[in-house]
Every structure is written in C-alpha cells, then in structure tokens.
C-alpha cells in the first residue's frame, strides 16, 4: 500500500504550474502502483505448500544459515518446524497443523513462535523473485521470506 501526503508551500512568490503538479502526481502514481505485489492464487499456493519443505528466513536473508530454518508442510496437514541453523532433515523443534483457505495459509504450532507472534498465524504469500516468496500476516506485516526446496 502506498500512502502519500503532500502539501505545497512556496514562499518565493512563484506558483507551481499545472504541468509541474501533473508530473509530480504521475511520478507518485507510477511509484505506488509498482510497489504493490500481488498475492499468489489458491492453486499456486496449494502447489507451493502441500507436501513441500520450505527454507524460511527469519530476518529476510535466505543465504544465512544461522537465521534460516526448514519447515515441512506435510500433505496430511501436519507440519514440522526446525530451529534456525538446523539441517533440512533434523528433528522437529515443534509440530503443528496447517490449512489453506483460498489465498490464505494458516498454521497452529504447539510452542515455537509464541513470543514472536507466529505460533498461530494466517498469511498471504507473494512472489519475491524467481524462486523466492514472502509471506505477510493478514494485517499486512511481512513475516518471513522463503523458498520451497523440494
């Protein structure tokens, strides 16, 4: 979402002409319209989740193993969450359930994430690159960046 609040004050006695105002407005509209990424559709989300393993970056950097973790979204609706720094097939740090509701992915873990607000969450997913995605909670705040690895 792009919100713009503008006021034009000129003390030099010159007025801002209509073409200048139009140019500024056009630039703002162009910048704002390009900033809004689209949520992926229900079919693509289902393919991305069911029976897949994700590499999830807690701080937005998928190349940093110390802040990235592997999450499994099993086809039966169960999930396995590993701590950051764990290997892809290490023991689960926590388990839970996930479900899809249209373009929304929701999960409910037993323990992990309670103090950070992702123990129980519902997110929308957006494309963030050729193979990378970002998830936003339903309030619009970015939760994590991730990549499906299988």
pLDDT tens string 118-136: 888 999 999 999 999 999 8
Biggest CA-to-CA distance, the chain: 71
In CATH, what number does 42-148 get?
2.40.128
pLDDT score of 11 more than 90: no
CA atoms lying within 13 Å on the CB side of residue 13? 0
Domain ranges of the chain: 1-36, 42-148
CA angle 86, 49, 37 (to 5 degrees): 100
Nearest to 140 by CA among 129, 128, 127, 124: 124
pLDDT score of 95 more than 80: yes
Mean pLDDT of the chain, nearest integer: 79
* Cβ-Cβ contacts under 8 Å for 38 (sequence gap 6 or more): 126, 127
pLDDT tens string 45-82: 999 999 999 999 978 899 999 999 999 999 999 999 99
Q: With a threshold of 0.75, does the pTM exceed it?
A: no
């Amino acid at each position: 979402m792009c919100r713009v609040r503008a006021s034009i004050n000129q003390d030099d006695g010159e007025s801002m002409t209509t073409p200048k105002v139009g140019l500024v407005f056009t630039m703002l509209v162009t910048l704002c319209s390009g900033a809004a990424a689209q949520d992926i559709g229900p079919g693509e989300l289902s393919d991305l989740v069911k029976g897949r393993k994700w590499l999830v970056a807690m701080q937005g950097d998928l190349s940093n193993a110390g802040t990235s973790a592997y999450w499994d979204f099993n086809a039966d609706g169960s999930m396995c969450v590993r701590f950051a720094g764990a290997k892809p097939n290490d023991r689960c740090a926590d388990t839970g359930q996930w479900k899809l509701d249209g373009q929304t992915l929701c999960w409910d873990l037993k323990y992990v994430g309670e103090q950070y607000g992702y123990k129980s969450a519902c997110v929308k997913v957006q494309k963030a690159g050729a193979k990378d995605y970002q998830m936003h909670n339903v309030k619009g705040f970015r939760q994590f960046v991730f990549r499906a690895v299988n």
